[in-house]
Chains A and B, each alone.
Chain A
């Protein structure tokens, strides 16, 4: 069974510093997708970044980058130049194809607090 592990329940970072949120996954399927979502206190899950298992380059979206290490089965999110508005829960998710559908499995999340 597929599994997503986020080992950091909480992280603290100083404003303008970079922070890395860890995510490891477990699957025997060679084809999968990895996502990161941000969930502010309002509850909405906001898509941040996507990495496909066959992508050669690490994904980047503005201040977000995904450090994809396939052999280690890790997909860490790097946020550069943290801002106060980055304070939120962050979820890593893996999507596998099942019966024609793509169903994500989410980790338990990491709470990020950005200090001024």
Chain B
């Protein structure tokens, strides 16, 4: 049983560019949440997707957008990248909008130069 998988594992982008990160949830899970983790900090909630809709959103600008597909996989898009967007981006899957423990992927390390 595959756990949560994220791709790519590492990424380097230039300021102003756009990036797309991908996440496949654990089998049987229908909810995907995205987090940003800066160095030395705890994960910060970006948004949650359930039934292909954004259900909750954290305090992140509209440059951060996402999508969930019918197979429950998800994408995180970030436009107009800033140096401050450099972080580890974690995807977590759960069941029933997070009413269970979440399982995390290994993350995508994004570096903006």
B101 nearest in chain A by CB position: A47
Contact across chains for A102 and B99 when beta carbons are under 8 A apart: yes
Chain A residues with CB under 8 A of B106? 42-44
Contact across chains for A43 and B43 when beta carbons are under 8 A apart: no
Complex: how many Å from CA A47 to CA B101? 7
Residues of B in contact (CB 8 Å), total 28
Complex: how many Å from CA A4 to CA B7? 30
Cβ contact of A104, chosen from B55, B102, B107, cutoff 8 A: B102
Contact across chains for B104 and A45 when beta carbons are under 8 A apart: yes
Complex: how many Å from CA A35 to CA B104? 13
Question: In the complex, how many residue pairs between chain A and chain B have their CB atoms under 8 Å apart?
Answer: 62
Indicate whether B92 reaches chain A with its CB closer than 8 angstroms.
Answer: yes
Chain A residues with CB under 8 A of B109? 43
Would A47 and B98 be within 8 Å (CB), given that A99-B56, A101-B50, A104-B45 are in contact?
no
Contact across chains for A101 and B102 when beta carbons are under 8 A apart: no
- Using A103-B98, A107-B42 as known contacts, list a sample of 15 further A-B pairs with CB atoms less than 8 Å apart, ordered by residue number in A: A4-B42, A37-B104, A44-B107, A45-B104, A46-B104, A47-B101, A47-B103, A47-B104, A101-B56, A102-B94, A102-B98, A104-B45, A105-B45, A106-B43, A109-B41
Listed in ascending order, the chain A residues whose CB lies under 8 Å from chain B are: 4, 35, 37, 42-47, 50, 91, 93, 95, 98-109
Listed in ascending order, the chain B residues whose CB lies under 8 Å from chain A are: 31, 33, 40-45, 48, 50, 55-56, 58, 88, 90, 92, 94, 97-99, 101-107, 109
